[in-house]
Each structure stands twice: as C-alpha cells, then as structure tokens.
Structure 1
Amino acid sequence: MPMVSEAGGEPEDGPAGHRQPQDPDRRAEGPGRKRAGRDLPAAIGVGLGLGTVILASLFVHKPVFVVVIAAAVVVGLWELTSRLAERSQLRVPLVPLAAGGAATVVAGYLSGADGALIALGATILAMLVWRMTQRPENYLRDVTAGVFVAFYVPFLATFVALMLTAGDGPQRVLTFLLLTVISDTGAYAVGWRFGKHKLAPRISPGKTREGTAGAVVSAMAAGALCMELLIDGGQWWQGLVLGLAVAVSATVGDLGESMIKRDLGIKDMGTLLPGHGGIMDRLDSILPTAPVAYLLFLAFVGAG
C-alpha cells in the first residue's frame, strides 16, 4: 500500500457554501511545501507495520493474504458507507455488502473470475433485498450508491486475489504493490521539489504535472527491474509498459477518491491509521490499479 505521508491544504468555501478541505487528497506536491501535514513518525510506523503484515502473509501462506485482502475490503466498505451516511444521508446496506464483498474476494481466489462475478451478483441482489426491509423513500438512490460501492471496493480488490492464484502470484502482487508505492513516492518527491504546474486544481490542488512525471519515470524504472528479477518469463520492456500503466491508473485512482471526498466535504475517509487516515485513503490508488496490473501480467506472461 502507498505509505507516503501526504499533506492537506487550508479550508476553502465549497460550492454549497460550507467549508471544505482545499486538498482532500493528502499529497504534498507543489512548491514551497517544507513538511507534510501529518504525524510523520506515526505515518512511518504504521507504514512499516502494514508492510510487515503484507509481506509476511503474502509469502508465508497465500490463503492468509486472501484473508488480509478480505479484511481490508470489509473495513473499507465500513468507512465508505459511514461517510456516505454522514455526509449525504445515503443508507447503503453494510451487512450484505461486507459479507458479500469478502465472499467475492475469496471466490475469486478459489474459483477464478467466474466465481467472483457470481459472488458479486449475489452480493448486489442481497443488498437490494436488504434495503427493501426499510422505508421506501430514496430506495433507488441508496441502492444505486450500493452498486457503485460494490464495484469500487470488493470488485476491484478481487483482482489482487486473482493475481495471487498464479504460480508466481506472490511475486506478481509484490510487484504491483511496489510499483504503486514507488509511483506515489516519486510523485511526492518530484512534486514537492519541482512542482509548479497544477495537474487538476479543481479536484486536487496539491497534484502537479511535474509530480505526475516523477511518478511515471520512477514506476517505469522500477517496473523494468521487477519484471526482470521477480516475474517468471518477464522482460524489462514489459516492465516499462507496466510501470507506465500503474503510474497512470494510480494517479487516476487518487483523483477519483479526491473527487469523492471533495463532494462529501471531508479530508479523510477514516482515522483508523494514524498519519494516513483510513483504509480507503490507502486503497485509493491500489484499487483501480489492480485490474490494470492483472490484465497486463496476463497479456505478458500468461495466467501462470
């Protein structure tokens, strides 16, 4: 997971007249920033702890890592549905989403893409029925949000479990996570030092074009090394393509969650991880990157 501690901005008036965070996406890109607006020691400690859990579960026993994915999905769903309820009064049914989301991840690992799609369909159906037990007002709005949440969190996370099923699955997952972290770190470092031109100021004022270039270059270099050293049958040029794709999808993922948080008028999705925010604040670039990495591994080196 990306471990960089990122800074937020000062509040500004939002479109509805209330105060919103200037930069809900926490990246401290841009000139003149001398320190991240986070508890750096806590962020580093939490990052190291998460990294230890990921590596230990990933290489000791694959099913243990599947449990880690499922747990992250459940917590992420709880954070996202809680913020939707607090800020937009959307009553998205958490129980069927959490149970079905975890089941979708496990089904993806045990039965492949077909099993995951069946589990996802059952999850959405259960959510529709569950919501029927409550008053009918805003039913369509609530279940539409629920379908979005089901695809955004468990569906995308399932591609990590699908990567894991390959013979060199742990190495594929490690490569995918490393490139996402390195892309995030490259964006932070280059943007902090050289960033002058805003990438998407209306969505995330802290992101710069220079930082994005840093993300692309660093991820491509790391991708070339990882494909040669970690992936069975991988070649360096495939790593360049993978690194470019990861940098782009990670940036889009960051901007996507920034858009959600700006719409909700919040800085972080949660407070579970000191110095980082919530689980969803760590998954913002990982979730949309997972299917991209899975498909490229499939195209370059097969199912394994």
Structure 2
Amino acid sequence: MTESSWGRPRAAGYASQAGHDGGTESPSGTSGGPDAGSGPRPPAKRGGRDLRAAVGVGLGLGAVVLASLFAYKPAFLAVIALAVVVGLWELSSRLAERKLIRLPLPPLAVGGAAMVVLAYLRGADGVWLAMALTVVAALLWRMAGPPEDYLRDVTASVFAAFYVPFLASFVALMLAADDGAQRVLTFLILTVISDTGAYAVGYRLGRKKLAPRISPGKTREGLLGGVLFAMVGGALCTEFLIDGGSWWQGLVLGLAVAVSATLGDLGESMIKRDLGIKDMGRLLPGHGGIMDRLDSLLPTAPVVWLLLLAFVGSG
C-alpha cells in the first residue's frame, strides 16, 4: 500500500523529488558510498523503508485492530473514527504546506467522526445525512476567512470529506452486521493479501511497468500476483468466515478487492506526486502516515460492503 509495493525497491530519484532520501541505494537496500562496505550495517531497508520499524509498527497496529474488533465493537468504531480524524489532519497539513489550500479542519473532523458513528447506528441514511451536514458546515466555516481562494478551498473540503470519512464509513456499515467482525476481518485480510501478493510477485518477477508515470515500482506481473492471492484468500474467507458465503463468491470478491486496492494505491500516489511529497506523514515509523496505510483500504471498503450485501445480505 505504499509506493514501494509491487516491484523493485523504489528508485532514489522519486524520493529526491520531495526532498527525501537524496542518496542512492545499493542492491541490498543500504545507502551507497565510499564507506558503504565498512562499519556496522544499518537496519535492513527496502524501498527506503526501515523494515524492522515497519514490521514492528505493523504488528502493533494489527494487534490493536484485532483486539478492538473482536472484544468490543464500539472500541473498533473509535479506532476507525480516530484514523479518520488523523487522516484528515495529515491531508489538511500537506495541502496547506504544498498548495496553500486551507481546509476547515474542525468541521471536517467532527463531521467525519459523525459519519462513522452514524453509519454504525443508522446505516447508509446516516452516512448521507452526516456527509451533507459536514459539507455545509465546512462551507460556512470557511466563510469566516478571506474570500480569496474560497472556491478552491471548499472544493478541496468536499473532496476531503468524501475521500476519508465517507469511504471509511463503509467499514462501520460492515461492522453493524451480526457477523460484522468477520466481514471487517475479511475486508482487511483480502486488502493486505492483495498488496502482499503484488509486492512478492512483482519483486521477484516484475518486468513490465503498470503505471510508470504514477508509481514506477508497480508492475503488471505484480498486479496479477495480487489478483491471484486475493482470489484464493477470498475463497477461503467467504467459505469459513462469512455466514452463508460460498467459495465462488470469494473469487469474485478477491478480484474486486485487488482491482480497487490497486486503484486506491495509484490514486494516492497521484495525489502525492502532485504535492511533490513521498509520504503523507511521519506518524508511523517505516510506514509514513496514517493516510499511507489507508490508501488501498478506503476505496476497497465500499466495494467489499456492496458485494457482501449482494451475496449474503445485510446480516
């Protein structure tokens, strides 16, 4: 779900575009130079990432998610709301720094958290109501500032409200089902499997670039690997985790997840290239920011919710 997924380690030129990682990398992933062969080796890296930190943070996040998901649904709802608020803050900060776009963060954050909660309590109608009120509040809040660039700022506000909390609210919609924990777990497993399969296959076999102008590390072979892994994982998840699910539905679900996760990853890559940055934030060592973890998850959530609704009902 990061720029280094699906293929060879990230070229140094991409990092230098945003002012990061200006040096080159040796094949082992460590910085090259006259003294590269002497002294203790730094932690292993791939694509400019500290793998030790990335694995540690990933395991920690996974533990928090699983514990809250299966112990107490409202606790997981709070995790979603917190991720939404932090994601909006990261997006707002980067837009202000790189494009001088001023998002009205307070109404977006409050409205975003409300979307998640109302999705769980009131269903899709609650999401649309909260979305509409959030947009209106953002428009009014921005009116307290100068009129210059008002249209640009409010347009970006509507985009932010849709991109982060609205899409995240579909996770809460899945959670509200009787087997909601299993549905959310399926959603998370398939997204992670798709990304992992794409990286593994692309790193070993990747030759043909998928979208070189957007994300040079991704390959067509990696995409096929992600599809294969996700379809197998989908068949297993729908057969053993989803009430009333069938293996063939999992094949369809896995294919859809691989496609949506890819588009989500490429979409955020396009945003970051437009902003001239490598990561949306630095909150998670080895991963970047919260938005760098949500890039594949956000557009995949409504896809999984809709397909499970069609296959097995609302629960």
When normalised by structure 1's length, the TM-score is: 0.92
What corresponds to 2:146 in structure 1? 135
Q: Secondary structure at the match of 1:205?
A: strand
Q: Distance in 2 between matches of 1:150 and 1:33?
A: 41
Residue 198 in 1 paired to residue 209 in 2? yes
Residue 99 in 1 paired to residue 110 in 2? yes
CA contact (8 A) 1:227 1:236 kept: yes
What corresponds to 1:162 in structure 2? 173
Identity of matched residues, %: 71
What corresponds to 2:164 in structure 1? 153
The higher radius of gyration belongs to 2
Q: Distance in 2 between matches of 1:122 and 1:21?
A: 36
1:108 positional shift: 0.5
What corresponds to 2:49 in structure 1? 38
Residue 9 in 1 paired to residue 11 in 2? yes
1:20 positional shift: 1.9
What residue ranges of structure 1 are gaps of 5+ in the alignment? Answer: 14-18, 25-31
CA contact (8 A) 1:190 1:214 kept: yes
What corresponds to 1:118 in structure 2? 129
1:5 positional shift: 7.5
1:12 positional shift: 5.5
Q: Distance in 2 between matches of 1:185 and 1:50?
A: 16
Amino acid at match of 1:285: S
Q: Distance in 1 between matches of 2:237 and 2:308?
A: 12
Aligned in 2, Cα 1:162/1:217: closer, same or farther, shift over 3 Å? same
Task: Encode CA deviations 1:33-67: one digit per residue, 9 max, x unaligned.
Answer: 86512111110000000000000000001111000
Task: Encode CA deviations 1:201-231: one digit per residue, 9 max, x unaligned.
Answer: 0100110000000000000000000000000
Q: Distance in 2 between matches of 1:252 and 1:228?
A: 26
What corresponds to 2:17 in structure 1? 20
Q: Secondary structure at the match of 2:123?
A: helix
CA contact (8 A) 1:70 1:105 kept: yes
Residue 302 in 1 paired to residue 313 in 2? yes
Aligned in 2, Cα 1:11/1:55: closer, same or farther, shift over 3 Å? same
Task: Encode CA deviations 1:217-255: one digit per residue, 9 max, x unaligned.
Answer: 000000000000000000000000000000000000000
Q: Distance in 2 between matches of 1:159 and 1:12?
A: 33
Q: Distance in 2 between matches of 1:255 and 1:269?
A: 14
Amino acid at match of 1:221: V
1:3 positional shift: 9.2
Q: Distance in 2 between matches of 1:127 and 1:72?
A: 20
Q: Distance in 2 between matches of 1:179 and 1:23?
A: 31
Amino acid at match of 2:277: I
Q: Secondary structure at the match of 1:136?
A: coil
Q: Distance in 1 between matches of 2:285 and 2:53?
A: 6
Task: Encode CA deviations 1:157-183: one digit per residue, 9 max, x unaligned.
Answer: 000000001110000000000000000
Amino acid at match of 1:84: L
What corresponds to 1:78 in structure 2? 89
Amino acid at match of 1:250: A
Amino acid at match of 1:41: R
Amino acid at match of 2:11: G
Aligned in 2, Cα 1:254/1:141: closer, same or farther, shift over 3 Å? same
Q: Distance in 2 between matches of 1:114 and 1:9?
A: 45
Q: Distance in 2 between matches of 1:127 and 1:192?
A: 43
Aligned in 2, Cα 1:163/1:272: closer, same or farther, shift over 3 Å? same
Amino acid at match of 2:134: T
Residue 260 in 1 paired to residue 257 in 2? no
Task: Encode CA deviations 1:127-166: one digit per residue, 9 max, x unaligned.
Answer: 0000000000000000000000000000000000000011
Q: Distance in 1 between matches of 2:185 and 2:20?
A: 30
Number of matched residues? 291
CA RMSD after TM alignment: 2.0
1:10 positional shift: 1.7
Q: Distance in 2 between matches of 1:291 and 1:241?
A: 15
CA contact (8 A) 1:11 1:20 kept: yes
CA contact (8 A) 1:8 1:22 kept: no
When normalised by structure 2's length, the TM-score is: 0.89
